[in-house]
Amino acid sequence: QVQLVESGGGLVQPGGSLRVSCQASGMIVNMNAMGWYRQAPGQERELVATITKGGKTTYATSVKGRFTISRDDAKNTVYLQMNSLKPEDTAVYYCTLTAYAGPYWGKGTRVTVSS
């Protein structure tokens, strides 16, 4: 069984930075793209960023230029570096992994941007 565990969320002031991580474990077969989604209170879950096995990245328009997604396949880990954070970035951030019998989702880590 594949498990994804996010970490690194918390409270940060507007303009600050935060890095969230997600490590996958278990019987992972044909590990492919990884990504981050987020869900703010009362809103639908939305795509934040994705990264393919080959390293190609995509970003939501709202985070482009501020967020950077990366991955370390040796550690089965995906990262999301978030800079110049805004109050509207407040949400629960979920990581996802595309692999055989997936996709798989983590349980989320909360990010709050507030002064």
* Residue 7 reports pLDDT greater than 90: yes
Separation CA 33–CA 40 (nearest Å): 23
Question: For position 51, what pLDDT does the model report?
Answer: 97
What does DSSP assign to residue 111?
Answer: E
Separation CA 13–CA 100 (nearest Å): 39
Rg of the chain (C-alpha set): 13
Q: Tokens in use for 47?
A: 């795509």
Tens digit of each residue's pLDDT (9 = 90 or more) over 38-85: 999 999 999 999 999 999 999 999 999 999 999 999 999 999 999 999
